Chain A
Amino acid sequence: MKIGEVISASVLGGIEVKLTLNNPEELRVGYPTIVKGKKYDFYCVVQDIYTPKSKVIERIAGIGKEEMIPIEAHDSAYGNLFPCMAKLKVIQLINEKGELKEPETIPPYLAEVRLARKEDLEKIYIPNETSLPMGNLRGVSFEVNLDFGKLVEKPFGIFGRTGVGKSILCKIVCNSILAKEVGNVLIFDMHQEYGLFSKTDNTPGLKYFFPERVEVFALDPVANREAKPFFIEQSKITPSDIIIAFQDLSESMIDALYILEREKGSRDLVTTIREAEPEEYEGKIHSSSLLALKRRIERLRRFDFVREGVEDSFTQMLSLIKAGKSIVLDFGKYGLSTTSYLFIANIITRRLYSIYTRQEENLPKLILFLEEAHKFLEPKVAQHTIFNKLARETRKFNLILALVDQRPSRIDEEVRSQLANRLIMSLKEPSDVSAALSGVPDKGTWEGIVSTMPPRNVLAMGDALPIPTVIEVLNYNVANLKRILKNMDSEEIKEIASNIDIFD
């Protein structure tokens, strides 16, 4: 469908289009379009839609009588009476052979502009063995495949504010990674969404579709009796676990923590803190810092999963990971405690990092989904943890970090710059929009698109897609997953799906 003609264009500034649509509401920011040049098809996305200022409109605005004929009921001798305009961002040129080229030129005046069609898009989005659809291209009934093989090669980020469908997107990504067998996942499941069924909306989780390949551990075995109980042996706790867990430790408390770690001897750190007396450390630790630290440590008593003298479940978890399993760690009643999440995530990640970077054996690729990532990667705490290193180095060691966050602006800039792929959902805070797109060429253009995207839409950019793309994330329902599962290679999964009989 023709939507307009080019009235101005610039390689740097994009293309301005006079719309021929009667109603500008038919077009939306992010819609894919084709500008028909003489040598190339210019594949573009709608960056902005606007009505130019008009003196006539200013004069007639506010005049209203019933008998008057409204301006939309006027045919004009030259197209629309008051045409609207659109600004397009050129993403790619497609030549006559269907080859993609960088946008280094512009279309001529009055070049026709239309919405992109399936055949245009098939030249750009070419599925491969490791790709699966993630949803429809915004405004077009065309499924966009994301290359999950590429996605899991390097750290990536999933950003979006609360309530825009971030968890659903994460589930789709996890399922697709497992379906394409490009890696295994480890998820800290705070809200019991990823196991067999989501406790929030009852949608099937990873264990539902991949019962043989997903193991569920539970910090709260009472709430999930089918999962394996997970315990942390108290002696395994390090200063960084405590710094991350409590987030609000002062510099002097952090210093105290390291002093106690050095001087704990054969005791574990938690016991050392509990038993420490101010007089004992006079001159080394300020008494108020020590007392504050002791008060914080007492909170760990609320965590039943921290025990003395138990077999640490991490060993079991690690052997399952080595056996090619994915892990869902169900937080049960602890899901509401940010401290418990930060504490557990740090302990597990730190230990995985240590094992993966030793490279003593060939470990399977593991994608670690880290929600509330900024809490681990804020510049203030990042220096005390291994997450900085994890984001920067671990692709060499088969341990890939997936940052999931609603406040990307609070994630250390250097870490953000390491993300090879970004799945950005709606963000309203300008600093978050800007941070989510940091390092992206022509960032300003995408900022406008991200800040106006509705929920369940995602801007996907990076090497897992040929070009940055706005996608309407597919509905996470049985029918859609059935379709995706059909695409899977694994016969085993098909068989499981048919046995469960959920698709008929």
Chain B
Amino acid sequence: MTRDNLSNVGAEMIRLVDIHKEFDGVTVLDRINLSIAKNEFVTLLGPSGCGKTTMLRIIGGFESATTGDVLFDGERINDIPAYQRKVNTVFQRYALFPHLNVFENIAFGLRIAKKDVKEIRDKVQSALELVEMLGFEKRTIQSLSGGQQQRVAIARAVVNEPKVLLLDEPLAALDLKLRKEMQLELKNMQKQLGITFVFVTHDQEEALTMSDTVVVMKEGIIQQIGSPINVYNEPTNIFVADFIGESIILEGRYLEHCMVEFAGQKFPCVDIDFAPMEQVDVVIRPEDVDIADDPAEGVLQAKVSSVVFKGVHYEMLAETDDGLEWMIHSTTMAPIGQVIGMSIKPDNIHLMKKETKGPEVTAS
């Protein structure tokens, strides 16, 4: 669980120390240790029920940890209630106030803080400008589309100039195209505002697109912390490899320095942290399998069993003689039934310490 070098990220903003959380005796967060820097875009990524939202709610002050500490700018804030924390949240289904119009929704926090009328007007104005919603001041919440409500929710949070913005699956309710646009906009907003974003999602693509740092979680435990490139290329275990992107996971054996055996063949590789004859899990991304029409050109031979056109690439399944099914992403197509040659470059073979039982082949 190491983190790699991060650019434009400042000193520590939030630190979670040994957070443990139980609901009615059921552990939802276990031994959570996480440091989030100023100006960092951190994504908590994991399947539903992995504890990522609970973690966000602990930072926001809506839940308290059973044991462990939350530090904010170096100070312990366990006992500071939500309404006194310098964080703001964009909620999952926006949680806008339906009895107030757009202007009053955004002005809510400023009014509570008893800012004067002119300041409120100016700040709401610039928040609306940030989310490109100028002219919507008098509109009711019910008259807005999902995407517009989303923008109002973001404006309502950032208008208070929080040091940290928490976002709880804010894009989940939007359609695909709008979601992609908002991903880029949010990333730009974060740079423009110069504040820390803690973003919760179950969408691995979203996490990779936006984040400086991705925190992969499963069943209340952090699996890996790293940059998007780091968690994609060097997953620490089968779960991360499988959850982030698509992968082929094979049983293998480390033979000697930079040499591994799997699928009945020897492959040169670049990993060196293993002992000779150690059992390992081998991760190969479908786009890293090079295919050739001539079976003899490949290290492995397989028979194509399915081809699906995906736009940029073809997604193919090919079966080797020993019954292993390989998923291949390639821009060139081999027809069903053809026997192809497959090879993998040394730096595209990622080895992981063995953690589970029997042989397992995952092709999706």
A and B: interacting chains: no
